[in-house]
Structure 1
Amino acid sequence: MLQASAQKLVDGLETDSTDLGRAQRTTLTLAQSHCLLDPRASIFPTWDAWVTAMQVSSAVFAAATTSEDHVQCRIAHEDRTLQATGPQHYVTPGSWTTAFYLAVICREKDRITALCHVPLALLRENGSRFDAYHYNWISTLQAYWLGKPDLGEKLVSAVDGTDPEIASDPETAGKLIYPPMEMFHRFLRKDHAGFTQALANALQWHREYWTEESRMYQSPGLVALAPLAMACIAHDAGIPIGVESEYLPATLLGRNWYGEFPT
């Protein structure tokens, strides 16, 4: 049922590209759900689902930022012509970080670069309010990838914004948002032992957050998306990842399926 829903949404994007928000959520849910039965992401259908989620997530921003009437995006093994959407309610800091993490996990350098050129102003035009740390974290990641100055200051601002006395949702900020920031900080310092500890802490907090009774059956709990992305960055930079977890699919981390088909 979920597979069929995802495919229907993807196939309808050329008709109504403003369905990209729903398509992003559904394809990500499908990718995460594959890891329930395939926690190492060892089989091809799991990788295929993660690539599709990555492609849809990147397409959200390709369609939102294009200066043309249409944009070509490859999604689910087909080149699709999507309408320009401009700002939408689903073009948010959360959808951006999801797209960034997925592009990192799938090692899609061109898509990461495109995402890092998305202006923060666009992410403020969705009609919703987000804590400052969301924007500061995005600014940090963009600065890192594009080699911009003031990276350390941007990271400090992002971390400071997750302070429980400031954050509007202290639990989410503390258990899900701050941990990848700490991992990134350790990565930048080339602190291998500190990175390993930060990763272990991130996975523990992920477990605590998603095994709380009201959340324990939700698909985002199946994979620690942000810690996995930070671990992928570290892995590719030569930092040994000394932590194994069902929340950290080993085959995605090791990029074993990378290059299997055109993406």
Structure 2
Amino acid sequence: MNADAAFDTPDAPDRDLPMLTAAQAAHLRELAAPYTDNSHTYSLQNLAHTCRRAPEDRWPELVETHFARLRAAGRGDESAAELLSGVHARLLPIDSITPDLVGAMRYARVVADGLVFAYALDQPTTVRILTDPDVERAGLEELGEAAYANLMRVPVEHEEVAIEGRALLHSVYGDSPFVASKALFLSELARQVTGEALPDAGALVAVPTRHLLAFHPIVDGSVAGAINDLAQYALGAYQDGPGALSPRVYWWHRGGLKSLTVIDTETNTFSLQPPPELLGILKGLVRLDRAGRLAGRTAAKEPDIGGLRDTAAEAIARIDQDPSGLGGAFTSTVQLAHAHCAADPDLSHVDSWDAWASAVQLGTALFTGAQPQECHLGGDLVRQLPAVPAEPPADARAWLDAFYVAVVCRQSARIDRLCQVPLAVLRQDDSIDEYVLHWIDTLQTYWAERPMDDVVEKLLATMTTSAPDAVTRAPKDFVNLIDYQPVALFHRLITRDHDAFAEALTEALAHHATYWGDSPAPRARVALGPLAMASLAYDHGLPVDMKQPYLPTYLLNRERIEEIPG
């Protein structure tokens, strides 16, 4: 049976009122006919949702009540003061704007696929959508200010719903038909209900009914799962009604809404298609989160050294059968190395050193290949790293981690090999901002001992492209407090300004503390980038205070450094 035939079946969903069967929709239209005339068209969407939830023998009563309210709301003789006291900004489904309303509401505008912005007057028994004469009577500017103020005073309930144990969905609901319209001003709503501003990347948001909206701030890699869960949530709530508004998922960004849902009207199917800008943000957050670089809202549990060691050992053991797992093994060992510094902040124990040495081995192997070698993970746990070819992945921040741990562990030969990795390969990483590549270029140029003018030129490019208005993918606080700090330190290092370097190092460590707070996440334990720059400074004879937080003393002063296999 083809799709058109399916719609013609009495028990199939109606084309225009899919919450009803075709037979039910025909019955509703028959009941509504006496209340309509050729001079005005009415949307039956909300009425259909109401009827769907009631026995059909009550439909005549519901239809009569519905149109009685419409007639009561249609006077349009309120004074300007009355309009200003009751007006609210309102989101309407685009299919509720009938042809005769289009001509009467020239002030209204489409704000996103499927959604129209309008003004509505809240009355004791009903809500009336304002027309152009109403707007002229009250004044467009005055009406806009009043509509915003009245909308933000509408009371709401707020709940946090955990998605798969990580992603947080904020559900905002209430009796008022204006609750979902607060999505127009989502940034202020988020402050009201969570006490926190939305991130620069914005939020995913759904407005399935006029009484409900749900949003998920785009702060970490959990957004990858949240986008699908929110889509299912939105569609389910939209179909349940009443007061259906939109089944779509939107991206709220910089004050605007953009639909991520694409609806194929021929097949009546839905798909999610984020625009390139959002897709880049999502990829960046997922990769940052997977490597443990982001400070989450909820503090993780204290690092379990034994569990992290077992994870790293299992990952290394699988490389022989699946070489693509080398990147995950490197990430695991970096986590293990950092986690050791919780109980051993100076890195005085051999087990702690073994974890750092293994991170060096795996990081170098990931980008430059390696011969077979043993990786000591602490205690008696040893895993054999098989021979791996030189197939550097397009993972720029993993390269930085590999470079940093090699510098900290004073592995000059390995650093030489890392700095020969073609920048063109790392440029294929579509999850990063441009400044990351400029920073890698700066480090490679410096380590190759090329003219200092070339180093400075590349450093300036790094600084320019890491400015807030140039960063589009990584969270701004991560860039400012974590990612940029090695750049600032390197600037002081190459000028050989001892006092300025010391001041910048103290500032970098303070920023590290601010970003991570009381999180026990492994990355919170060591300021890896600043540690690498401090190690370079120490080796160049700059005085560096050995007793500072987040800088393992016996790595910084080289007392713990031992030979690393391979």
TM-score of the two chains, using structure 2 as the length reference: 0.43
What is the 5 A alignment of 1:129-140? 129-140=431-442
- Pairing 1:49–2:355 present: yes
* Residue equivalent to 1:124: 427
What is the 5 A alignment of 1:206-217? 206-211=512-517, 216-217=519-520
- Pairing 1:163–2:463 present: no
Q: Structure 1 CA distance, aligned partners of 2:533 and 2:447?
A: 13
Maintained 8 Å contact 1:16/1:83: no
Gaps of at least 5 residues in structure 1 are: 64-70
Structure with more strand by fraction: 2
Q: Structure 2 CA distance, aligned partners of 1:132 and 1:261?
A: 33
Q: Structure 2 CA distance, aligned partners of 1:261 and 1:130?
A: 31
1:200 to 498, 506, 514: 506
What is the 5 A alignment of 1:44-123? 44-63=350-369, 71-76=370-375, 80-84=385-389, 86=391, 88=393, 91-123=394-426
1:226 to 505, 526, 529: 529
* Residue equivalent to 1:66: none
Q: CA deviation at 1:119?
A: 0.6
* Residue equivalent to 1:235: 538
Range moving further from structure 2, 188-197 or 116-125: 116-125
* Residue equivalent to 1:146: 448
Range moving further from structure 2, 49-58 or 4-13: 4-13
Q: CA deviation at 1:258?
A: 1.8
* Residue equivalent to 1:28: 334
Given the superposition, is the C-alpha separation of residues 75 and 98 from structure 1 closer, same or farther in structure 2, using an over 3 Å criterion? farther
Q: CA deviation at 1:73?
A: 4.8
Higher relative contact order (CA 8 A, sep 6+): 1
Maintained 8 Å contact 2:374/2:565: no
Q: Structure 2 CA distance, aligned partners of 1:103 and 1:258?
A: 11
Measured on the aligned residues, the alpha-carbon RMSD in Å equals 1.8
Q: Deviations over 1:27-52 (max 9, x none)?
A: 11111111100001011110111000
Maintained 8 Å contact 1:105/1:232: yes
Q: CA deviation at 1:79?
A: 6.5
Given the superposition, is the C-alpha separation of residues 184 and 75 from structure 1 closer, same or farther in structure 2, using an over 3 Å criterion? farther
Alignment-mate amino acid for residue 347 of structure 2:
A
Q: Structure 1 CA distance, aligned partners of 2:325 and 2:331?
A: 10
- Pairing 1:250–2:565 present: no
Q: CA deviation at 1:87?
A: 5.3
Query: Which structure: larger Rg?
Result: 2
Q: Structure 2 CA distance, aligned partners of 1:98 and 1:180?
A: 12
Alignment-mate amino acid for residue 445 of structure 2:
A
TM-score of the two chains, using structure 1 as the length reference: 0.89
Q: Structure 2 CA distance, aligned partners of 1:162 and 1:243?
A: 29
Gaps of at least 5 residues in structure 2 are: 1-306, 377-382
Given the superposition, is the C-alpha separation of residues 30 and 22 from structure 1 closer, same or farther in structure 2, using an over 3 Å criterion? same
Q: Structure 2 CA distance, aligned partners of 1:118 and 1:262?
A: 21
Given the superposition, is the C-alpha separation of residues 243 and 261 from structure 1 closer, same or farther in structure 2, using an over 3 Å criterion? closer
Q: Structure 2 CA distance, aligned partners of 1:84 and 1:262?
A: 17
Structure with more helix by fraction: 1
Alignment-mate amino acid for residue 442 of structure 2:
T
* Aligned-partner SS, 2:560: coil
